[in-house]
Chain A
Amino acid sequence: MYIFSSRVLDHQSTHPACPHAATGGSFSVAAGRMSFLYGFKGPSMSIDTACSSALVAIHHGVIHLHRSLSHCALAAAVNLVLSEMTTAAASAAGMLTIDGRCKTLDASADGYVRSEACTATLLAAADALHAGQVLLRATHVNQDGRSSSLTAPNGPSQQAVIRGALQAAHMQPTGMTALELHGTGEQLAMLLLLPVCSCGPS
C-alpha cells in the first residue's frame, strides 16, 4: 500500500512535551497509521514532493502494480489548513491571491488560494477496459534538475514529463483530447522572490 499524507502540523514546536507529538506530528506516521487502521500489510510510505505529491504517490502505486507485487494500491492525499503559519508564510511570499480565487488562464491571475482536499485513489490491475471504467494509462515523473532557479517552473521539463507519459502510454501526441492543467495562476514574480524567502511553503 502506498499512501501520501500532507505534512502534519507544526504543533511539535508549540507542544514539545506532548506524548503524542512523536506519532501525531510525524509525517511518516500518517501512512503507517492508515495501514494500522485498515490492516494493510504491503509497503506503506509517505511521499512529499510538495504540490505534485498526490500524482507522485499514484505513480509509485502504478510502478508497484506493474511489478505485480500487489493486487491493488491505495494512493491518498490530504491537505488540511489547520495552522495559520503556512498561510502567513505563503502570503508573505506573495503567493496568495487577494480575492480568494484561482484565476487560471486569466489576465488577472495573481496567485492561488489555499484549499482543503482529501482524495483517495484505489489502483487495481485491469485485464480489459469495460464500459464506464476509467483506465490510468500511464504516469510519469521527472525533475527540473539544475534549472534557472529552484522554484521557477521549467518549460522543457514540463514538456519532457508529458512526453514521457505519452511514451509510457504508447500514445501519439494527437491522442490527447483534454488536459487538466496544474494552473495555479501564480505570478512568476513571486517565484523570483521565493529563493530569498527561507520560510516558503511547498
Chain B
Amino acid sequence: MSNLPCCFCFQSVPAGHRDFLCFHPLHETLLAAGTALGDPIELGAALSVLHNSGVPLQLTAAKSCMGHSEPAAGGVGMNRAALMLASSVAGAVMHLRHFNPMLGSLLQMNASQNAAALHVPRQANSRHAASPGNKELPAIGVSAFAFQGTNSHAILVCAVGACAARCSSITAGQQRRYWFAAPPDLLASRLTACGQNVELEAVLVQDALAHLWDHQVQQRPLFPAAAMLAAAHAAGVLVLDGAYRQSPELSVLGTMLTSVTIPVPLVLPHPQSYGSSSAVVLSTVIAPNLGWLHQRTTMAAAKQGDPHLRGVLAFCLTSQSNPSCSVSPHAALLWSRLSLATEAVPAATADIVHMAHQQAEQYTIHPEVMDNVTQASVYALWCLWCLPLGLMLNAWVPLVEIRDVPCAAWFCRLAPRWKCALWSFEYLLGWKRSSLLVPPDTLRPPNGGLVLHHLQLQLHMGRVWCAVSA
C-alpha cells in the first residue's frame, strides 16, 4: 500500500503506522484522549483554502441547533445559509463553551496571518458578513460530507443591501443559555478568607468564557443574571461541601439561593477591548456563618462598584450519606485551605436549614427568567429613562442540582402568568412586544420542574421592582 496522508496534518503516513493518523506524538495524545477530530479536519481543510481579506470568516453550524438530519443535513444547512443571507443575521453555533483544543492551534495559526480571522457567533446577531466594510457580495459556503466519502459544497451569494426583515426561523430550535455551570476552577482562581468571610474570584476575561460577550443588550455586553446565580451557587457549594466534609455523618443535600437582589447589573467592557488589558474579576463573598452572599466586580480601569448580587445561601442537610453529594476533590482541596477561617460554619446552620424547609414550597423561578428580567430592566434603563434603575427579584431560585446534573434537570416550567406579567410590564412601559430583545415566548423553559405561582413587576420611584409571590 502506498503512503497515505494523515487526515489531520496531511503529511504522508509511513506504511505500517496508524491507519490514517501520522505518527506524531500530538496526534497520539489527542486520539488517546478521545478528543473530537472530525471538526478540526473540516476546519483545517477549509482554512487551507479560504483566506480572509480583513473581514472575519464567520463559522456557523445548523447541526448545533437542529441536530444531524443525516441525508437532509446539506439541505438544512443551505436553507439556513439562504435565510442568513436574506436577513443579514448570522446564526449561532450552540453548545460551544470551550474550543476543541485541536481547533485552538488552527485558530492561532490563522490569527497569526490575520488578526481577526474567524468569528464564531454564539448568539444570533446582525454582525453578518453583509457588513458595509465588505465590498464584495456576501457569500456563504455550505459543506456536506458523507461518511462513505462523497463530499459536496455549495456557494450562495446575495445582493448587497438586500437586508430583509429579521428572519425568526434562523433562531428556530435554538436554545438560549448564556450562563454557565461554571467548573470550580473558573470560579476559584483565587481564594481569600478575610475574617469570617470567604471570597472566591472568577476571572471573566478568558477564552473559556468568551461566549459571555455575545450576551448583548443594546450593543453592550451584559453579564447574564443567571450566570451570577450560577457563580454564586457554585461558590456556595464549594464552601459548604468543604464544611460538611468535616462531619462525615452529615452531607449537604442541596444548596439554594434565596432573597436574591440584583441592585446593579454588570456591564462588561466592550468586546473590542476583550483580551487586551481589561481584567474583569467577579468576586463572590460569602459569610458562611450567616449565609449572606454578595458579588462584586473589579475591573482594571474602574473603581469597585456596588454589589451586583445579594442573596442568602441556604442548604438542606441529610444525616444519611448521600453518594450524589460527595465532595469533589477540588472542593476538598479548597476546604483544606479554608478550614481555619470558617470554623463557625456548622454551628450556625440550624436557622438556615429551617428557613430552607420553610420556604422550599413557596417560590421558584428559573435563572433564565431572572436573566430576562435583568435584560428588560437594563433595556428600560438604556432606552427609556436615565433614572437610576434597580432590580429586585425576591425569588426562590432552585439551583440545587447545578453542580451534578446538566442544565436540563433544573429547567422549570413557568406558569402562563409569568407571560401575562411580562406583557403587563411591557404595557406599563409602553413597549411593543417586538422591542424586547428576548421575546417572551422563549422565556418558557422545556418540560419538567416547578411552577412559578406569580410574578409581579412594579414600577416605583423610577425603579423596577420585580417580585415573586404565591
Contacts and interface: CB of A to CB of B under 8 A. Distances in A.
Interface of A: 4, 6-7, 48-59, 75-79, 99-110, 112-121, 129-145, 147-166, 169, 171, 173-189, 191-192, 194, 200-202
Interface stretch (B157-165, B321-329, B382-390): B157-165
Contacts of B66: 115, 117
A105 B161 CA distance: 31
Contacts of B164: 132
Interface of B: 4-5, 7-8, 10, 13, 19-20, 31, 34-39, 41-46, 48-53, 55, 57-64, 66-82, 84-86, 90, 93-101, 103, 120, 128-130, 134, 136-159, 161-162, 164, 406
- From B19, B50, B149, residue with most partner A Cβ within 10 Å: B149
Contacts of B155: 136-139, 165-166, 169, 171, 176
A133 B162 contact: yes
Contacts of B78: 54-55, 58, 119, 121, 136, 180
A144 to B, nearest CB: 4
Contact of B68 (A115, A134, A177): A115
Given A105-B120, A138-B154, A148-B5, A182 B45 contact: no
Contacts of B58: 177-179
Nearest to A148: B20
Given A56-B150, A174-B51, A188-B36, A181 B42 contact: yes
Contacts of B140: 176-180
Interface majority SS on A: helix, strand, loop or mixed? Answer: mixed
20 contacts: A4-B71, A50-B148, A57-B75, A58-B74, A101-B64, A102-B67, A104-B95, A105-B39, A106-B100, A114-B69, A121-B78, A129-B157, A135-B157, A137-B139, A142-B151, A145-B149, A152-B19, A153-B147, A177-B130, A202-B146
B310 to A, nearest CB: 33
A148 B4 contact: yes
- From A51, A114, A136, A192, residue with most partner B Cβ within 10 Å: A51
Contacts of A101: 64, 94-95
A114 B46 contact: no
